[in-house]
Amino acid sequence: MKAIDKILPWVFFCLILALCSFGALMVYSSSVYVAERIYSGNQYYYFKREVMWLIMGFGAMALMYKIPIDLVKRLAPIIYLTSLLCLIMVFSPLGVTVNGARRWLNLGFLRFQPSEALKYSMILILAWWYERVKRESGSFVKGALIPACIMGIGLALALAGRDLGTPLLIAVVGGAVCFAAGMKIRYIAIGAVAVSGLGYYYITHEAYRVKRIMSFLNPMDDPLGVGYQNLQALMAICSGKISGLGIGNSLMKMEYLPEAHTDFIYAVIGEELGFCGCAAVIGAFFLLLVIMWRLVSKIDDTFCRLTAFGITLVIGGQAIANIGVVTAMFPNKGMGLPFISYGGSSLLFLLGACGLFLNMVKNKPKVQLTKRSVVSRTSAR
C-alpha cells in the first residue's frame, strides 16, 4: 500500500492533465458554430482562449505546489478578505453584468468571477481558524458561531450578485469542513435548516427561479421557453446512444443547445461519444475523487487536511451538480463541469487549488519523518 500511496499524486496529476486535454478538445468541438457566428468566422476563438487559460492554470498549479505551507497559513485571512473585497467591487463600475447577474469583475487585464475565488478562500479561512481553536472546535462560540459568521459574510456578498448555485455549493462544502473539524452535529443541523430556509426564500422571491423549478418538475410545460435547454440536452444525450455520433458531429451544438461549450458541454459529450463517453467521464471523476480521499486520509496536519478535504468536496460537488443538471436530475443552475467546461477564472482557480492540494500531500511525509526522528532520538536516549 505504501508503494501505491507514493504514485497516487502522479496518478492524480495525470488524471487532471487528461481531463483538461479532453476538455480543450470538447470546447473546440462544441463551440465551433457559435464562435464562427460571433467572431467573424474565427472557429478557434474559444479553443485558443481555453488553451491560454490552461497554460495560466498549470502555471498557477506549479506556483501553488511550490509555495511554503506556512506562508499559505499566514496569508489565509488576507486571501479571504481579498476575495470579499473583490465581491464588493463587483457592484462598482468595474463590475460586469452577464445574463442579468452581476457576478463578474473586469480589471482590464483580467476578467473573472470573485465567487470562484471565494470557494477556495472560504476553505482556507475555515481550516486556518479550526487549526487555531482545534481544542475548542466543539464549543458554541469558537466552534460554531464564529465560523458561521465567517461563512455568512461571504455567502451574503455572493448572493447579492444574484448567484445561488455557487453560494449553495460553498455552504455545503463549508458545513462539511466544519463537521470534519469537530463542530457538533446539532450546530450543523441548525445551519442546514437556516441555509435551506434562505434558499427557499431566494427561490420563491425570484420569478425566473420559480419557473426553473417548475420546468424541472415538468419540462414539457414550457418546451420552447424555460424547459428548452434541458429538453435539448436530453435529446443530445439520447441521440448519442452507445458510441455517439463521433467527435465534431454534434447537431445540437449548432446553436440548438444554449451554453453548449460551458454549462452543458456534458450533453455534447453524450451526443458525440455516446454512453461510453459519458461513462468514461464519470469514471474519471470517480477515480479522481477516490485518489483525493485516499491522499487526504494520510495528512496529519489539521490545516492541510481540512483544506485538502474542502478542495476534494468542491471538485466532487461541482461535477455532481453539473452532470445532474444536464441529465435533468437537478434543477437548472449555471455551474460548469470541472476541468472540461469552458471558463477562464474557474479553470485558473481550480488548477491552482489542485496545485495546493498536491503541495499539502507532498508535505505529509516530512511531518511523518519528523515524528519518526523524534521517536528514534527518544529511544536512543
Is the C-alpha dihedral spanning 235, 238, 239, 240 positive or negative? positive
Give yes or no for a contact between 332 and 212, defined as CB atoms under 8 angstroms apart. Answer: yes
The rounded distance, in Å, linking the Cα atoms of 250 and 237 is: 10
Q: What spatial distance separates the first Cα and last Cα of the chain, rounded to whole Å? A: 32
What is the structure's pLDDT at 236? 93
Domain ranges of the chain: 2-380
Give yes or no for a contact between 165 and 325, defined as CB atoms under 8 angstroms apart. Answer: no
Residue stretches of the chain with pLDDT short of 50: 365-381
User: What number of other Cβ atoms are within 10 A of residue 8's Cβ?
Assistant: 16
Question: Tell me: the pLDDT tens digits for 260-305?
Answer: 999 999 999 999 999 999 999 999 999 999 999 999 999 989 999 9
Residue 324 CA from chain centroid, whole number: 14
pTM exceeds cut of 0.85: yes
Question: Tell me: the pLDDT tens digits for 112-170?
Answer: 888 889 999 999 999 999 999 988 888 999 999 999 999 999 999 888 877 788 889 99
What is the structure's pLDDT at 371? 40
Question: Which DSSP helix (H) or strand (E) runs through 376?
Answer: helix 364-380
Residue 309 CA from chain centroid, whole number: 13
**What is the total residue count of the chain?**
381
What is the structure's pLDDT at 229? 87
The rounded distance, in Å, linking the Cα atoms of 254 and 83 is: 37
Give yes or no for a contact between 315 and 292, defined as CB atoms under 8 angstroms apart. Answer: yes
55-to-44, 240, 344 alpha-carbon distances in Å: 16, 32, 11
Give yes or no for a contact between 340 and 50, defined as CB atoms under 8 angstroms apart. Answer: no
What is the structure's pLDDT at 204? 81
Give me the phi and psi of 111, to 5 degrees please.
-125, 125
What is the structure's pLDDT at 209? 76
The rounded distance, in Å, linking the Cα atoms of 199 and 204 is: 9
Instruction: Please name the amino acid found at residue 108.
Output: G
What is the structure's pLDDT at 218? 79
What is the structure's pLDDT at 164? 81
Cell numbers at residue 342, please?
469552458
Cα angle value 254/256/259 (rounded, 5°): 90
